[in-house]
Structure 1
Amino acid sequence: MKPQVRSFHHRATGTWTHIVVDPETLRAAIIDPVLDFDLYSGQISTGSAQRLLEYVATAQLGIDWILETHAHADHLTAAAWLKHALGSAGAAPAIGIGQGILAVQATFKQKLNLDDQFVADGRQFDTLFRDGDTLCIGDLEAHVIATPGHTADSVTYLFDDAAFIGDTLFAPRGGSARCDFPGADAATLFRSIQRLYSLPDTTRLYLAHDYPPDGEEAVSQVTIAEQKASNIHVQADTREAEFVALREKRDATLPVPKLLWPSLQMNIRGGRLPSPETGDQVFFKLPLDAAGFST
């Protein structure tokens, strides 16, 4: 049974959220949901997540899972908010992410100097998936494929012919994910892409992001065949050394993602805010590089 997929584009961050549905039972999973966040005012809102709930209600879906392809560095996840909202009306869905989140949590606990209130053992998530694990929505079974390289925790969820690949690849005109974050590695990403390229050419690859040029619509999914034929970074005959050289040269020119630090502080917590410091006031931390600066 092939899944049905409804995709929602978050224009402010270029993020795709997907709802994958078993058409027989109407059980479903939400993949990579987004909170709305204004960096300058510090305001968090839930309009985009509310849109998902409206679709779920209209389509009469039961949500079993909220799945993260990785701890994103460019948007705040709505996973915890959605779990609470859906749980208030019935059984709460489980939040799942790749087991590599343990390494990501440990790295950013150190970089952000987080205190012992944050424990880097994955307890913020309901399930940590290993390579080869399976999960079900209704009668549909998904296989978890570890696809690290962009991040240590990156995974792909394969439901029959539909693969939800996170940032491993973008649309062919966008190439591949950056590999300059802590724990990232271009050669590892290349090997992860080869695992995806070993799937049937007709496999639908559902993307986590698209940043279309002006005048073009955002692309939510492409096939393996399209990627092999025209991805600007890695095609069927691209060699590992060639890809690594290209990726490392490009990564050296990329700016730090605008929402890197607030995103990671939410996303390593499964979408929960840091603990309030004064009354109900919550703060995000910003590490400074003050080398060479003195007063």
Structure 2
Amino acid sequence: MNPRPDIEAFFDEATNTISYLVGDPDLRIAAVIDPVLDFDPASGEVDTRSADRILAHATDRGWRIAMVLETHAHADHLSAAPYIKANSGAWIGIGEHIRDVQKIFRPVFGLDDLKIDGSDFDRLLVDGERIALGGLEVEVIHTPGHTPADVTYRIGDAAFVGDTLFMPDYGTARADFPGGDARLLYRSIRRLLDLPEPTRLFLCHDYKAPGRDDYRWETTVAEERRDNVHVHDGVSEDAFVAMRQARDATLAVPKLLLPSIQVNIRAGRLPTADRDGVRFLRIPIKIKKRIDGSTRAPVP
């Protein structure tokens, strides 16, 4: 078995997200990891140009897409998983703890119709599960902390780590979303950094650290252990947690968080259209004071 899968990366600069087409070079069977649905929050317009690039590349290579793998329910882009599925026959998989994320966010958005059993996805994947990808094997590694449901997919000599780690000069993912946990994130990262040092790590995002001119999304376990500014060898769990919590308190809310979460916890499925064919997303409003400037509680 060739331990090195063929990997094509697709960078979406609008969301700083990297999607991957990963395939067995011999049998030409592939997986798509974290596909992006293009979404303009100003107009509400969705487009499939990013997903179409992936589909076109697979067609050009003669690859059959067998599965779409989500590393977690993303808070910064909408998933194109249903579109990839509809155009390839692939199944959609995510970590089994997506059910915990659904339970957290159903009341936040008032999604009374949301099923919290994960059944919007075709497969719920468990820690340690191994899935055939042609002659390759996908190992599922539960890596919570950023969210309860994060997983890493290890395929041959590569691991697709989602939002656990960034490039060494940028650090690690935030852990302040509902259900996030900086201590769990540290333990998940150390689990990844216990993989063989040559293991290639492929990231879900890059934001270009200060002083760097280009985007990057591939590193190695050895590089992260040596150089990661947040969690290199020698950083203790308590020190990491203190740093992560202090840093997270300064971070802005991702601009696509509200539309992304309510779509992605449904496996990328958009809201059902109303009788006029219009689809609506919900935006919870937090009222800190009356609009007339007073701080009195609104009169019922």
Classify the TM-score, shorter chain: over 0.9
The CA deviation string for residues 169-228 of structure 1, in whole angstroms up to 9 with x for no partner, is 000111000000000000000000010011011000000000125862211210001101
Aligned residues: 289
Partner of residue 251, structure 1: 248
Alignment partner, residue 284 of structure 1:
281
What corresponds to 2:173 in structure 1?
177
Q: Aligned-pair distance for 1:276?
A: 1.8
> In the TM superposition, what are the counterparts of 1:152-231 in structure 2 within 5 Å?
152-212=148-208, 216-231=213-228
CA distance in 2, matches of 1:240, 1:284: 39
2:67 aligned partner: 65
1:144 paired residue number:
140
- Find the aligned partners of 1:34 and 1:247 in 2 and give their Cα distance: 27
Amino acid at match of 2:51: A
- SS of residue paired to 1:49: helix
List 4+ stretches of structure 1 deviating above 3 A: none
Higher alpha-carbon deviation: 215-224 or 35-44: 215-224
Cα deviation 1:89-125 (Å, max 9, x = unaligned): xxx111000011001111111110112x221111110
- Counterpart check, 1:133 vs 2:141: no
In structure 2, the residue matched to 1:236 is 233
**Partners of 2:212 and 2:156 in 1: how far apart?**
33
**Cα offset for 1:277?**
3.0
Question: What is the one-letter code of the residue matched to 1:229?
Answer: R
Residue 165 of structure 2 aligns to a residue whose secondary structure is: coil
TM-score (norm 1): 0.96
Q: Is the alpha carbon distance of 1:148 and 1:43 closer, same or farther for their aligned partners in structure 2, counting shifts above 3 Å?
A: same
Give the drift of 1:236.
1.3
* Aligned-partner residue type, residue 175 of structure 1: G
Q: Which residue of 2 is the match for residue 89 of structure 1?
A: none
Paired amino acid for 1:12: A
Structure 1 residue 282 displacement after superposition: 0.6
User: 155-164 vs 278-287, which deviates more?
Assistant: 278-287
2:9 aligns with 7
Which amino acid counterpart does residue 241 of structure 2 have in structure 1? V
Shift of 1:291: 3.4
Unaligned residue ranges in structure 1 (runs of 5+) = 87-91
CA distance in 2, matches of 1:204, 1:211: 19
Equivalent residue number for residue 297 of structure 2: none
Percent of aligned positions that are identical: 47
Task: Provide the residue aligned with 2:52 in structure 1.
Answer: 50
1:161, CA displacement in angstroms?
Answer: 0.9
Deviation at 1:292, TM superposition (A): 3.1
Q: 2:269 & 2:147 partners in 1: Cα distance?
A: 20
How far 1:18 sits from its partner (Å)? Answer: 0.8
What does 1:96-111 align with in structure 2 at a 5 Å threshold? 96-111=93-108
For the residues of structure 1 that align with 2:172 and 2:291, how far apart are their CA atoms? 39
Q: What is the letter of the counterpart of residue 190 of structure 1?
A: Y
Alignment-mate amino acid for residue 218 of structure 1: Y
Task: Give distance in 2, aligned partners of 1:5 and 1:250.
Answer: 33
Counterparts of 1:278 and 1:252, CA distance in 2: 42
67, 73, 76: which one pairs with 1:74?
A: 76
Query: 2-side partners of 1:124 and 1:175: how far apart?
Result: 33
Structure 2 counterpart of 1:17, one-letter code = S
User: What secondary structure is seen at the aligned counterpart in 1 of 2:214?
Assistant: coil
1:17 pairs, out of 9, 16, 19, with 19
